[in-house]
Amino acid sequence: MPHSWHTSEDPTRSHSATGPGLPTRRVPAELARSYREAGWWTDETLGELLARGLAASPDTTFVVHSHTRPYTGTFGDVEQTARRLAAGLHRRGVGPGDTVAFQLPNWMEAAATYWACALLGTTVVPIAHFYGRKELGYILGAVGPKAFVTCERFGQNEFDPQLCSAVPVVGVVGRDFEDLLDSEPLTGTLATDPDSPACIAFTSGTTRAPKGVVHSHNTLAYEVRQLAGMYPPDRGDQLTSAPVGHFIGMLNALLIPVLDGTPIHLLDIWDPGWVLELMATENICVGGGVSYFITSLLDHPDYRPAHLAQLRYAGLGGAAVPAAVSTRLENLGIRVFRSYGSTEHPSITGSLATEPADKRLFTDGHALPGVEFRIAEDGEIVSRGPDLCLGYTDPDLTARAFDADGWYHTGDIGIVDADGYLTITDRKSDIIIRGGENVSALEVEEVLLTLAGVAEGVAVAVPDTRLGERTAAVVRCLPGHAEPDIETLRAHFAQAGLAKQKWPEELHIVTDFPRTPSGKIQKFVIRRELAAAYDEAVRSGNEAIATEPI
């Protein structure tokens, strides 16, 4: 069933997209008009932006660093594959207004699929390659894609045809992906409305299931231009290890380099030792993301001071950035600059690498061009801007998160200094941000409470030296039942099919919880007590508490 999308000042202007439960959010007419007058929204679609960039730099290098599926070619080579795939999908009935999902590691085929979708004017649904069958099944059911591209196996995941049995067109890299490619490539781009949906990115939040965040061609194009403008011009050839199935990873890997005409270097598995080797032999740089990507290199036994030549900058965001980490990097000569945003509103605040050190290191930056934010009476940050999403696939979530004036309620708490720089101090929403990936506490608790012998259980964020936060499970057991251990817990979560990154990494057994007078568990007290225990362990030199990533 088609659904209307209203994003312009013209109340009669609507856009349709396939998929059940898609939302409708009207951007206030004055805002939409101001975005167009400022040139932040244009008539250019992502397909047109992409085609223009590819035509300007056809010989630019495109490399996939992988032990499983390495690739070396050029933008022109990958564009040819993308256009052949676009032609093949179009012949099978896929076009503007349709939805195409893909779940792939950082491989050439992921870029070809995304570029093909942009050229076709379809709505792309990137799915993180580490999402398990639970998340994947939900996402495919929520968006009802016309086509789905995946791989036979990678890491813990293996292709399950039952999960995509309702999808009309399925291509599996390593099996029949090539069959989708036409011999004659698609020429040009298919026309679509720049205000229509271009991407549905799924992220965890306070709900049991991932939230589908809908962006238009205009919101994404503005975000790409804004991000590209924040990066230092002398940053070097960047290695992208963030998953291209993740929203920001996709933009950083597959759009910004095309806009800039700079080489694309993808990495499908984060291996600090191998990355250090690539930095030395290939002269590629690592420029940031979540702080773990930088600190894991510095802490590796193969790290040498000579590697600092490829670690000139650290643009940090996506997770908590401890002051000790930002100070450590700056003292090594790595220029740190921070930013704040989310899948819903990708770039709310940020600092440039040229700004004062105290602002770059210890705040989350100032409002970026076109963006407005304010602090509500309860301390919550609310924001709006030309890169703010259209809403969620769940209209109830859209109604709760956005108001009639176009403000998005972030769920984060912050303070603003006299110079207008924002610092995040807390979180209203019940999520854990592990290495830049949102983990819904509710989703974890739903699985936790099905473990035999558990009477009550909660999942909370606890500090982590490298990842910013990790998940701790706190449970009260039924009388007469044996207490579970961490291995039993992990086996239970594996059986449930939840992505490994969401499994609890700490387990605490209690006889009761701190409660309100009405009996409700006070999770903020639990978080505070566990954080205090962490701080004490760090002060006493007990580094064992900073666990290795699972």
283 vs 455 pLDDT, higher one: 283
Q: Is the confidence at residue 20, as pLDDT, over 50?
A: no
Residues in the chain: 550
Please report, for the domain that includes residue 200, its CATH number: 3.40.50.980
* Least-confidence region, from 140-149, 288-297, 456-465, 492-501: 288-297
Q: Which residues pair with 173 in a beta bridge?
A: 151
- Residue 23: pLDDT band with limits 50, 70, 90: low
511 vs 421 pLDDT, higher one: 421
Domain final position from 207, 231, 255: 231
Question: CA-CA-CA-CA torsion for 434, 438, 439, 441, nearest 10 degrees?
Answer: 110
Burial grade of 347 (CB within 10 A; 0-12, 13-18, 19 or more): buried
Rounded CA gap, 138 and 497, in Å? 12
User: Is the residue at 264 inside a domain?
Assistant: no
- Beta strand extents in 269-329 (DSSP E only): 288-289, 313-316
Rounded CA gap, 90 and 96, in Å? 9
What percent of the chain shows pLDDT beyond 70?
91
Select, from the ranges 249-263, 467-481, 521-535, the one with the highest average predicted confidence (pLDDT): 249-263
In the prediction, which pLDDT does 542 show?
Answer: 64
Structure letter (DSSP) for residue 506: E
Q: Is the confidence at residue 8, as pLDDT, over 70?
A: no
User: Is the residue at 350 inside a domain?
Assistant: no
User: Is the residue at 268 inside a domain?
Assistant: no
Q: What is the mean pLDDT of the chain?
A: 88
* Least-confidence region, from 247-261, 334-348, 452-466: 452-466
In the prediction, which pLDDT does 9 show?
Answer: 35
Tell me: the pLDDT tens digits for 71-106?
999 999 999 999 999 999 999 999 999 999 999 999
Residue 329 parent element (H or E): helix 323-331
Boundaries of domain holding 492: 431-545
Rounded CA gap, 174 and 176, in Å? 7
User: Is the residue at 247 inside a domain?
Assistant: no
- Residue 206: pLDDT band with limits 50, 70, 90: low
- Residue 15: pLDDT band with limits 50, 70, 90: very low
Q: Is the confidence at residue 49, as pLDDT, over 90?
A: yes
132 vs 4 pLDDT, higher one: 132
Tell me: the pLDDT tens digits for 517-532?
556 688 878 988 898 8
In the prediction, which pLDDT does 7 show?
Answer: 35
Question: CA-CA-CA-CA torsion for 109, 112, 113, 114, nearest 10 degrees?
Answer: 120
Question: CA-CA-CA-CA torsion for 535, 538, 542, 543, nearest 10 degrees?
Answer: 120
User: Is the residue at 49 inside a domain?
Assistant: no
User: Is the residue at 406 inside a domain?
Assistant: no
Q: Is the confidence at residue 299, as pLDDT, over 80?
A: yes
In the prediction, which pLDDT does 207 show?
Answer: 62
Q: Is the confidence at residue 175, as pLDDT, over 60?
A: yes
Domain final position from 231, 255, 286: 231
Number of domains into which the chain is organized: 2
Helix/strand number for the chain, H first, E second: 16, 29
User: Is the residue at 323 inside a domain?
Assistant: no
In the prediction, which pLDDT does 546 show?
Answer: 41
Alpha-carbon torsion (118, 124, 127, 128), positive or negative: positive
Coil, strand, or helix at residue 315? strand
> Could you give phi then psi for residue 26, rounded to 5 degrees?
-90, 120
In the prediction, which pLDDT does 91 show?
Answer: 97
Domain final position from 231, 254, 283: 231
Tell me: the pLDDT tens digits for 110-157?
999 999 999 999 999 999 988 888 899 999 999 999 999 999 999 888
Select, from the ranges 37-51, 427-441, 486-500, the one with the highest average predicted confidence (pLDDT): 37-51
Please report, for the domain that includes residue 512, its CATH number: 3.30.300.30
Coil, strand, or helix at residue 460? strand
User: Is the residue at 211 inside a domain?
Assistant: yes
Q: Is the confidence at residue 172, as pLDDT, over 80?
A: yes
Q: Is the confidence at residue 370, as pLDDT, over 50?
A: yes
